Amino acid sequence: MRRSRQFDAPQRPAVEARAVDDTMPQSPSGLEIRGLPRPATRGDARTAETQTFPRGTDEELWNIRTVVQKTGLSRATIYRYVRRNLFPPRRRLGPGRIAWLASEVLAWMHSRPRPNT
């Protein structure tokens, strides 16, 4: 007869409550909106231009889904090209999150030969 093993589930760390920052944009329900930049302060005035990228420029970061859509390549082909140095390198944004600079992907797309028609 085979015994089943019992494993103790790992304990998750307690979530710390923190005060909501008045400078963080909030939704009508009072929740923080993390996707929006904080309003600039006097100390940030000099560096604000260098830290943020205006939306719609080539300095956007594209995730794998966007790169697949824009290039028409499959995920596997993109990763294969990156491994062989045939495609721009990916950037690690955090654990489990990677992206490509849109300007690098667009430059790569424009460097590709045109099909003979």
pLDDT at 1 over 60: no
* 36, part of any domain: no
The predicted-structure confidence for 21-33, as pLDDT tens digits, reads as follows: 555 555 555 555 5
Q: How many domains does one find in the chain? A: 1
Residue 71 belongs to domain with CATH number: 1.10.1660.10
* 38, part of any domain: no
- Which residue range forms the structural domain that includes residue 63? 54-111
The predicted-structure confidence for 72-81, as pLDDT tens digits, reads as follows: 999 999 999 9
The predicted-structure confidence for 32-42, as pLDDT tens digits, reads as follows: 555 555 555 55
* 102, part of any domain: yes
The predicted-structure confidence for 43-93, as pLDDT tens digits, reads as follows: 544 444 444 555 555 589 999 999 999 999 999 999 999 999 999 999 999
* 39, part of any domain: no
CB 88 within 8 A of CB 99: no
Residue 116 has what pLDDT? Answer: 82
* 117, part of any domain: no
